[in-house]
Amino acid sequence: MTISKASRRVLPLLSLCLLAACVQAPKTLYQWEGYQPQVYEHFKGQSPQQQITELEKGLERIAAKGNVPPPGYRAHLGMLYAETGRDDLALQQLEAEKAAFPESAAYIDFLLKKYRK
């Protein structure tokens, strides 16, 4: 018995689909982009502006896919804005962190009290 024309066409497609399903990475809770590498760059002394550029780009990619940035992402970006004198943007990011993760409220409020002094 020979394999019909249709199944000859379908089989390779099917196996491709199976392979693709295997290759796909497991779903993560957050879309991380450059958060962890930028934290490391921060500790190594990289300029805030360069990190801001990277994190802003990442945030756009996360928003484009409708995903959520991980804990700390927006707070870290807020800190960098504050370091470069853009207080309104800093405040915006810190408030966004607090809104997404209410667990951060006590610490964010502690920081805001200091920034406002």
Partner 1 sequence: MRHFFRLISCLAVAALLSACAASQPPAKRDYTAYKESKPRSILVLPPLNNSPDVNASYSVLSVLTYPLAEAGYYVLPVALVDSTFKQNGLTVPGDIHQVAPAKLRDIFGADAGLYVTISKYGSTYTVLDSVTVVAASARLVDLRTGTELWSGSASASSAENQNNNNNGGLVGMLISAAIKQIANNLSDSGHDVAGITSNRLLSAGHYNGLLFGPYSPHYGTD
Residues that bind partner 1 (CB under 8 A): 28-30, 32, 35-36, 39-40, 42-44, 70-72, 75-76, 79, 97, 101, 103-107, 110-111
The torsion angle over the Cα atoms of residues 102, 109, 60 and 40, rounded to 10 degrees, is: -100
The torsion angle over the Cα atoms of residues 100, 106, 111 and 112, rounded to 10 degrees, is: 70
Residue 75 near residue 103, CB atoms below 8 Å? no
In the chain, the amino acid numbered 76 is H
Nearer to partner 1, 13 or 22 (CB): 22
Nearer to partner 1, 5 or 114 (CB): 114
Question: Smallest distance, Å, CB 64 to partner 1?
Answer: 21
The torsion angle over the Cα atoms of residues 97, 99, 105 and 110, rounded to 10 degrees, is: 60
Question: Smallest distance, Å, CB 77 to partner 1?
Answer: 10
Number of Cβ within 10 Å of residue 112's Cβ equals 16
Question: Smallest distance, Å, CB 36 to partner 1?
Answer: 6
Question: Smallest distance, Å, CB 117 to partner 1?
Answer: 12
Nearer to partner 1, 13 or 25 (CB): 25
